[in-house]
Amino acid sequence: MSAVPTNVPAVDPVDPADPHRGSAPPGGSRGRRKAPTSERAKAEARLGWWLAGPAFVIMVAVIFYPVAQAVWDSLFSYRLTAPADREFIGLRNYATILTDGVFWSALGVTALITVVTVFVELILGFILAMIMHKAIKSTRGLVRTVILVPYGIITVVSAYSWYYMFSIDSGYVNNWLSWLPGFSDELNWFAQGGTSLVVIMFSEIWKTTPFISLLLLAGLAQVPDDLSEAAAVDGANWWQRLSRVVLPNMKAAIMVAVLFRALDAFRVFDSIFIMTNGAYGTEVLSLLAYRTSIGRLEIGLGSAISVVLFLCVALIAFVAIKVFNVDLAGSKGGRK
């Protein structure tokens, strides 16, 4: 809040966009391309930071300060229930985590959920993107509206909806599936890990496929239609057009979509908290961190798990950007 007022004087000088106006020749593009005088450049830089500064400072403060705090806390044996016993123990919290089967199991479940949901969502999302892209006028608005519903809905609501559908107390899915071999009214989906994870992943996939499909839609829109048409004229069938023309041309968008969704899936928390609360081997890293810090008030250990989770996410992003060359800046905003 306090950052807003500091900004007020800078809001008014919308005019210091002035430099452009002064230096832009009629018909020319923006003034800054014209190597403005250093005085102007300095004024522009100053204004730029006045405008961008508050948002930047808040982001840094909200993220980097707590992270530094978490790294620091993770080096202590520190329970809120016994604050007096706070003691520096170096990396021993990390040793505790990395030698604990619970951590590795949570990491495995997290990775499993990430891989399966991202894979399914990529295919489903692409189909939805195609439908949104190609839809005829009369259905286009409708199809886009319904796809946005899961996007906007609260994850917890999605989790409850899927939970109640399958739950043995209030569900009806067993009834619907009872004609299939292996399904009966007695099946309690939330009494073992495998079936619980199936429902959890259904909820996640339902809720987040629209996001990935919108990213892919943006990619599709960038593939020039004439390319596809030319290929069609040359006798390519739809599969050839898709695999040789459309997909290669939207590779950047696909990579960005996968990266964003993978990072998002890796932090999965809400659905699991609601459905199983980590029971029957459905514990994931986020939930483990939550239960250690907030549930058991073991700040030191919880911080260490938070740091490990953060490092995992950073590693995924790093690998994606360096190894797979996901060009976030190029595909996001930086085009112009």
| Residues 51-110 within binding reach of other proteins (CB under 8 A) | 51-52, 54-56, 58-60, 62-63, 66-67, 69-70, 73, 80
Q: How far is the CB of 85 from other proteins (least distance, A)?
A: 15
Q: Does 30 bind other proteins (CB under 8 A)?
A: yes
- Judged by phi (left if over 0) then psi (alpha if -120 to 50, else beta), residue 325 lies in left
Based on the shown chain and the rule CB under 8 A, indicate whether residue 153 belongs to the binding site for other proteins: yes
Minimum CB distance to other proteins smaller for 196 or for 208: 208
Locate 6 and state its tokens: 């500091």
Site residues for other proteins, 8-27, by CB under 8 A, read 10-11, 14-15, 17-18, 20-21, 24, 26
Contact code string over 169-188 relative to other proteins, x by CB under 8 A: xxxx-xx---------x---
Minimum separation from the CB atom of position 277 to other proteins (A): 9
Select from 38, 81, 99, 145 the one that contacts other proteins (CB under 8 A): 145
Integer Cα distance of 160 and 271 in angstroms: 8
250 burial via Cβ count (<10 Å: 0-12, 13-18, 19+): buried
Question: 243 or 296, CB closer to other proteins?
Answer: 296
Site for other proteins, residues 258 to 277, rule: CB under 8 A: 260, 263, 266-267, 269-270, 273-274
Whichever of 196 and 270 has its CB closer to other proteins, that residue is: 270
Stretch that binds other proteins, among 47-55, 84-92, 113-121, 192-200 (CB under 8 A): 47-55
Residue with Cβ nearer other proteins (219 or 278) = 219
Taking the least distance from each CB to other proteins, the nearer of 95 and 154 is 154
Binding other proteins (rule: CB under 8 A), the pick from 217, 231, 246, 275 is 217
37 binding other proteins? (CB under 8 A): no
Return the range that interacts with other proteins (CB under 8 A); candidates 96-104, 188-196, 207-215, 238-246: 207-215
The angle formed by the CA atoms of residues 214, 217 and 218, to the nearest 5 degrees, is: 95
In the complex, least distance from residue 55 CB atom to other proteins, rounded to whole angstroms: 4
For residues 318 and 312, what is the distance between their CA atoms, to the nearest angstrom?
A: 10
User: Of 112-131, which residues contact other proteins (CB under 8 A)?
Assistant: 128, 131
Nearer to other proteins, 235 or 333 (CB): 333
Least gap, CB of 275 to other proteins (angstroms): 11
Q: Of 285-324, which residues contact other proteins (CB under 8 A)?
A: 285-286, 289-290, 293-294, 299, 302-303, 306-307, 309-310, 313, 317
Task: Tell me how far apart the alpha carbons of residues 277 and 279 are, in angstroms, rounded to a whole number.
Answer: 6
